[in-house]
Amino acid sequence: MKIGFFELEQWEKDYLADKMSALGEVAMIDSILTAENLPTENDFEIISVFVNSIIDARVLDHLPNLKLVVTRSTGFDHIDLDLCKSRGVAVANVPSYGEDTVAEYTFALLLNLSRKVHLSFDRIRETGSFSLDGLRGFDLKGKTLGVIGTGRIGRNVIEIATGFNMNVIAYDPKPNAEYAAKMNYQYLELNDVLAQADIVTLHVPYTEASHHLIDAESFQRMKKGVYFLNTARGPLVDTMALVGALRSGQVAGAGLDVLEEEGVIKDELNVLTSGKLEGHDLKAVLADHLLVDMPNVIVTPHNAFNTWEALKRILDTSADNIKNFVAGSLSNLVN
């Protein structure tokens, strides 16, 4: 079978080379796979991509032999699942590799916000001043953390929060009562979590149904001075509404590893010069820029998954997904 890996770094190519050697012709390609970045080869039967690749009709049209898409991620909102299904293309993901990794990162963002570490660091670097002016923070102990989505990552966030002696409340349409009893947290309706939390953190998959799960009304329901974290997916949040809530002081600070339209903001020059602006929300791109410039907002480049341990787990599972498919069995299918 002809296999194409996209978005690979050199160490990943080296790591995969042995694992893939018996499976046929394998191309290891540095660039992303999108309609604007189509490979010259078009006879791949299996492709493996990361979240910056967009698998839509134009990409699928270019790859008529395609049978399997293996995404090296948990989320799969960058792949048109229905279209893949209708064309008989299976899609597999890596359901768990980073539950500790992303949960730890959530607290990296939270502790930076709560203790103004980013501002302290910038001040000394940029001015040489050791003044504490404006750098007073707050304790996490005793604060109420509202966890939206108590799947693998959300549950790890709850464990870490417990270590900080925080109170936890949570919302999930499929609550895990046994775990809640064990970890001593309470499930509430979404609006009640939003109203009672000092810090709200999102750990929900992005789907059509969860688009703008957090909108202007949601921010209004929150406590004045709430802190807001998103390490899940950008379009879960109405970005303009978040900008408004930060400007009014309704939200005191935000830690965002993901942004609506992060694909565009990462590569604006390319998007502009390729002229492919249709389907993108340019208002959200502008709002992203406003967020990046706010001192009480930490924006990071979709980095929460990015540890050596997590990446090796991702490559191992992705290689297994491909090996299993070649051997006639399917693993970690999402469509």
Q: Which parts of this chain interact with ligand NAI (CB under 6 A)?
A: 74-75, 98-99, 102, 148-154, 171-174, 203-206, 210, 213, 231-233, 257-258, 302, 304-305
> Smallest distance, Å, CB 258 to ligand NAI?
5
State how far the Cα of 145 lies from the Cα of 184, in Å rounded to an integer: 13
∠152-157-158 over CA atoms, to 5°? 100
Q: In terms of Cα–Cα distance, which of 6, 10, 44, 18 is closest to 325?
A: 44
The percent helix, strand, coil of the chain (3-state, each to 5) is 40, 15, 40
State how far the Cα of 277 lies from the Cα of 332, in Å rounded to an integer: 33
- Residues with a catalytic annotation lie at 233, 262
3-state secondary structure of 148: strand
> Smallest distance, Å, CB 297 to ligand NAI?
16
Query: Which is closer to ligand NAI, CB of 44 or CB of 50?
Result: 50
Q: Phi/psi of residue 261, each to 5°?
A: 60, 30
Query: Which is closer to ligand NAI, CB of 98 or CB of 123?
Result: 98
Residue nearest to ligand NAI (CB): 151
User: Which class for 121: exposed (0-12), middle (13-18), buried (19 or more C-beta within 10 A)?
Assistant: exposed
State how far the Cα of 330 lies from the Cα of 295, in Å rounded to an integer: 47
164 close to 141: Cβ distance less than 8 angstroms: yes
Neighbouring residues of 327: CB distance < 8 A, sequence distance ≥ 6: none
Sign of CA dihedral 191, 158, 52, 315: negative
Tell me the H-state helices in 147-254. Answer: 152-163, 177-183, 190-196, 216-221, 239-248
State how far the Cα of 310 lies from the Cα of 304, in Å rounded to an integer: 10
State how far the Cα of 45 lies from the Cα of 64, in Å rounded to an integer: 8
| Beta-bridge partner residues of 26 | 3
| Beta-bridge partner residues of 4 | 27, 47
